Chains A and B, each alone.
Chain A
């Protein structure tokens, strides 16, 4: 079943008097539990698609459906609630809250409203995530006291803490060395398999592409190739 569905999505940015067509009628589906990647050169539209799926931007035309619900026409409050309850974000620059420590950064989304995590389980759940990302010894550290890899691990735990159906990761390894990047990817793959969370990457990283089940190649705002491998390919065949 498709958890994400884009139908003829177009996005036009206006820069002064110039119109930039970032997406030119993009359509694809991503199934629940997929480990998918959006690849393509800079300016191909990867980040734009992530922003639209992440409900932090709206398409100029076309329909984006999350869990079968069209996001077009939703107001800011509804979109924010959808982001909070259904989506997790991992950013290229980690984007942790500088004044909060590791535990608090991970906990933060749970404090923003109702989530799938019962209150009684919050502490155990955060502790579990902290252990999963290997930061139990840094739980009181602030972001500026952590390495890039450690920060990204915090970001992964934060993205997963609300038990979202979808995690969007924008170039998650871009600011990490290759070894750390590999570790982070393995961690996300593990989470994908254990929690059945759908991961969508925007990336140039061939290592990520190699790990994903579903690869969507973009060029100049259009889908030029879609490939399925591993589990997705097997499911597609069945």
Chain B
């Protein structure tokens, strides 16, 4: 053992009480850090897994923007002043994304929100995800449980309401909603102002892994979603004209108009195109559900209209950086004003909660570290002051200042290092026990935080590295002031202090 470590170790043993007090503070601090950070990391991993698997994919492609844009729209002070940009050159972007070998699946989405009105009475609000039901269910097959009805089919109008919203409306308003009912959605967009759409309720669903933010989300067909979101500036609703207006416009033969339209379809549509009769089929018919999309691809025509987001799932999450680079290069090369965001940016405030709490926790750890530094520093200052003659003797018989500095540093690092090792070991044991037992989420807050109903924490490498970092930093910082006192000591004065 080097002389420095030998002296350090024996001095620590000699000053047993001080060593125990300081060591105990460090051990407690490191246990809190390791356990806390591992809990946070396990929770964060849970949240990430849950979100990327069920809501966001690994990447979100959007139109160019500034500020915090999430799947729920802008989440900053400008949210009411600007609309979510659509993805320009969507078809070109989609083709490129699909050509990337590491892309597993994609899902386009529109975000908007609406006031729900029934019989001219406002009954609730909902966040709306405008989706292509085929692509959505292909990308997120495990996140939705249909409580009643089914998803609207491609080209159909319809809203699939969140069961939480429905239950709340039924409880508060004393109403009953079921598939087939019509509900009025009122949306407001910056470009087009207020839009009102009456839409049939296709189904009622529940997110399997939910949180308060997701409990506000319902699904809407893309045409109505675009309308409410201001992505369409005009539409073709039939207007109820007064007799005078009809007289003014002349008599219209409605049947003849549809006949001519029918003839148009007969001439242009082929078997692979969307069939008009499917649009009028009974949405509640039980034999027709998802397999229609899967087993009869001929009737499905991909919607290449305007979309706010294109969510991308990769075959391997390690390809995220590569995908971001490739997409950025593609956008630049083709002069497309679009950009990518990662899953966390896409997920919004609730998913960020866990990370926010981790930041707060790290702040608390930093405070503990500062307290530890002050205590250790204070103890060391007393220690070196008591050892003035000893240090002076060392200097007199040939110890350079650097040797003395190293001696003080070794002493502190040995103390913090040993305490750190004990703290990490204790923390690992605690985590192993918690992993076996599992920590149940007692309420929604913890469910969000844990990323599920039960958290099974694991010792995370980052928490161990952070603990080691804290140990070294605390050791170096705490020894710096006492060492500077020692370095300023002139040997002759140190000798005189005996």
Our verdict on whether A and B bind, yes or no, reads yes
* Residues of A near any B CB (own CB < 8 A): 51, 54, 56-57, 76-77, 80-81, 83-85, 88-89, 91, 93, 95-100, 104, 108-109, 111-113, 158-159, 162
Tell which of B74-82, B240-248, B390-398, B415-423 binds the partner. Answer: B390-398
From A51, A57, A76, A109, contact of B397 by CB (8 A):
A109
From B10, B398, B401, B495, contact of A84 by CB (8 A):
B398
Closest to B3 in A: A111
B491 touches A56 (CB 8 A): yes
From A85, A97, A113, contact of B7 by CB (8 A):
A97
Alpha-carbon distance A229/B403, docked complex (angstroms): 42
B396 touches A83 (CB 8 A): yes
A54 touches B390 (CB 8 A): no
From B389, B400, B401, B495, contact of A56 by CB (8 A):
B495
Q: A98-B14, A98-B390 are in contact. Are A80 and B400 (CB under 8 A)?
A: yes
Q: Is B498 an interface residue (CB 8 A)?
A: yes
Alpha-carbon distance A159/B390, docked complex (angstroms): 15
- Across-interface contacts of A80 in B (CB, < 8 A): 395, 398-401
Alpha-carbon distance A206/B397, docked complex (angstroms): 27
Q: A93-B498, A95-B498, A99-B14 are in contact. Are A108 and B492 (CB under 8 A)?
A: no
CB distance from B262 to the nearest CB of A (A): 101
A113 touches B492 (CB 8 A): no
The 5 A-B residue pairs whose C-beta atoms are closest, nearest first, are A84-B398, A99-B10, A95-B393, A56-B491, A56-B492
Interface size class of B (residues with CB under 8 A): 20 to 34
CB distance from A233 to the nearest CB of B (A): 32
B490 touches A108 (CB 8 A): no
A56 touches B396 (CB 8 A): yes
- Across-interface contacts of A109 in B (CB, < 8 A): 397-398
A95 touches B10 (CB 8 A): no
Could you write out 28 A-B pairs with CB less than 8 Å apart?
A: A51-B495, A56-B396, A56-B490, A57-B492, A77-B401, A80-B395, A80-B398, A80-B399, A80-B400, A80-B401, A83-B396, A83-B397, A84-B398, A89-B396, A93-B389, A95-B495, A96-B393, A97-B390, A98-B390, A99-B7, A99-B10, A99-B11, A99-B14, A104-B3, A108-B397, A112-B397, A112-B400, A112-B403
Alpha-carbon distance A88/B395, docked complex (angstroms): 12
CB distance from B383 to the nearest CB of A (A): 12
B393 touches A77 (CB 8 A): no
In chain B, positions 358-396 with a C-beta closer than 8 Å to chain A are 389-390, 392-396
Alpha-carbon distance A88/B3, docked complex (angstroms): 20
- Across-interface contacts of A108 in B (CB, < 8 A): 3, 394, 397
CB distance from A65 to the nearest CB of B (A): 19
Q: Is B6 an interface residue (CB 8 A)?
A: yes
A113 touches B398 (CB 8 A): yes
- Across-interface contacts of B396 in A (CB, < 8 A): 54, 56, 83, 89, 95
Alpha-carbon distance A98/B10, docked complex (angstroms): 9
Alpha-carbon distance A108/B7, docked complex (angstroms): 11
Query: What would 13 more interface pairs be, CB under 8 Å, given A76-B401, A83-B396, A108-B397?
Result: A51-B492, A51-B495, A56-B395, A56-B490, A81-B400, A83-B398, A89-B397, A93-B498, A95-B392, A96-B393, A97-B393, A99-B10, A111-B3
Question: SS class of chain B's interface: helix, strand, loop or mixed?
Answer: helix
- Across-interface contacts of A98 in B (CB, < 8 A): 14, 390
CB distance from B296 to the nearest CB of A (A): 86
CB distance from B406 to the nearest CB of A (A): 11
Alpha-carbon distance A83/B389, docked complex (angstroms): 17
Q: Per-position contact with A for B1-15: 1 when CB-CB < 8 Å, else 0?
A: 001001100110010
- Across-interface contacts of A104 in B (CB, < 8 A): 3, 6
CB distance from A68 to the nearest CB of B (A): 20
Q: Per-position contact with A for B474-498: 1 when CB-CB < 8 Å, else 0?
A: 0000000000000000111001001
Output the residue of A54, A76, A99 with the most chain B CB within 10 A: A99
A162 touches B398 (CB 8 A): yes
CB distance from B364 to the nearest CB of A (A): 37
CB distance from A60 to the nearest CB of B (A): 14
CB distance from B57 to the nearest CB of A (A): 62
Alpha-carbon distance A108/B3, docked complex (angstroms): 8
Closest to B403 in A: A112
In chain B, positions 5-45 with a C-beta closer than 8 Å to chain A are 6-7, 10-11, 14
- Across-interface contacts of B492 in A (CB, < 8 A): 51, 56-57
- Across-interface contacts of A159 in B (CB, < 8 A): 397
In chain B, positions 94-141 with a C-beta closer than 8 Å to chain A are none
Alpha-carbon distance A97/B392, docked complex (angstroms): 11
- Across-interface contacts of B401 in A (CB, < 8 A): 76-77, 80
CB distance from B418 to the nearest CB of A (A): 17
Alpha-carbon distance A41/B394, docked complex (angstroms): 28
- Across-interface contacts of B390 in A (CB, < 8 A): 95, 97-98
- Across-interface contacts of A97 in B (CB, < 8 A): 7, 390, 393-394
Alpha-carbon distance A57/B496, docked complex (angstroms): 12
- Across-interface contacts of A95 in B (CB, < 8 A): 389-390, 392-393, 396, 495, 498
Q: Per-position contact with A for B253-277: 1 when CB-CB < 8 Å, else 0?
A: 0000000000000000000000000
Output the residue of A51, A158, A159 with the most chain B CB within 10 A: A51
- Across-interface contacts of A54 in B (CB, < 8 A): 396
Alpha-carbon distance A80/B400, docked complex (angstroms): 6
From B14, B397, B498, contact of A158 by CB (8 A):
B397
Alpha-carbon distance A98/B498, docked complex (angstroms): 14
- Across-interface contacts of A113 in B (CB, < 8 A): 398, 400
Closest to B494 in A: A56
- Across-interface contacts of A96 in B (CB, < 8 A): 393
Closest to A51 in B: B492
Alpha-carbon distance A112/B399, docked complex (angstroms): 6
Output the residue of B14, B395, B397 with the most chain A CB within 10 A: B397
CB distance from A159 to the nearest CB of B (A): 8
